[in-house]
């Protein structure tokens, strides 16, 4: 049996999302952004974040980006689906976790190439120990240790996304204890 240990509880996540929503509402008061959550992982974070943003002119469109090809292994190459019309827009990319940085770099470059005026990013978790390319997010919910995490959108082969807490996922360390 895998072990799941909560490291960030739902109540803490909600409190932090409220703060992020407030900061984004202030920073974008003049020109509301196009919120661009990346499916599938950002779905829970984005659903909470957009409701914490108090900007009547906010628009939300989704894009699909994936770098996982199973288990805890990243493939290294990022597949990016169709983008909405971003020409002249102030785009705020939303993702579940910033790890190697490849996803964010790929999406940022594609959004800029498609004519966005400005691109920034908001991630629920930042795992700086995993970074392989030079990028930082503009808004970060939690800086997390270099562990494999699940819950609140983060998955292991499609599982555990629905968990309200962010948890450390571990395979059973000692088969003999089974
Ligand atoms: P990056 O391209 O390496 O920065 O990874 C970003 C994507 O990898 C995220 O959107 C997640 O889908 C996935 N990812 C990175 N770390 C984890 C983790 O600890 N658990 C689950 N998914 C992760
Ligand atoms: Mg993802």
23-33 pLDDT tens trace:
999 999 999 99
- From 95, 99, 126, 155, active-site residue: 99
> How remote is the CA of residue 38 from the centroid of ligand 2, in Å?
7
Active site residue 85: no
pTM: 0.95
> How remote is the CA of residue 175 from the centroid of ligand 2, in Å?
30
**What is residue 79's predicted lDDT score, i.e. its pLDDT?**
93
Task: Kindly state if the Cβ of 108 falls inside 6 Å of ligand 1.
Answer: no
Averaged pLDDT for residues 70-88 = 87
112-169 pLDDT tens trace:
999 999 999 999 999 999 999 999 999 999 999 999 999 999 999 999 999 999 999 9
Distance CA 159, CA 131 (A): 24
pLDDT band at 176 (very low <50, low <70, confident <90, very high): low
Task: Kindly state if the Cβ of 166 falls inside 6 Å of ligand 1.
Answer: no
> How remote is the CA of residue 39 from the centroid of ligand 2, in Å?
6
């Amino acid at each position: 049996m895998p072990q799941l240990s909560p490291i960030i509880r739902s109540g803490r996540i909600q409190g932090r999302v409220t703060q992020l929503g407030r900061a984004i509402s202030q920073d974008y008061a003049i020109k509301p952004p196009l919120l661009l959550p990346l499916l599938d992982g950002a779905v829970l974070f984005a659903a909470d974040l957009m409701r914490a943003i108090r900007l009547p002119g906010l628009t939300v469109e989704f894009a699909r980006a994936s770098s996982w090809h199973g288990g805890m292994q990243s493939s290294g190459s990022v597949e990016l689906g169709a983008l909405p019309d971003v020409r002249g827009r102030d785009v705020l990319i939303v993702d579940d976790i910033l790890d190697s940085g490849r996803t964010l770099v790929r999406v940022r470059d594609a959004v800029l190439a498609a004519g966005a005026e400005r691109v920034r990013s908001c991630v629920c978790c930042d795992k700086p120990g995993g970074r392989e390319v030079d990028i930082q997010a503009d808004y970060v919910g939690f800086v997390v240790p270099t562990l494999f995490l699940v819950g609140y959108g983060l998955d292991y082969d499609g599982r555990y996304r629905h968990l309200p807490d962010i948890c450390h996922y571990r395979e059973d360390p000692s088969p003999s204890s089974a």
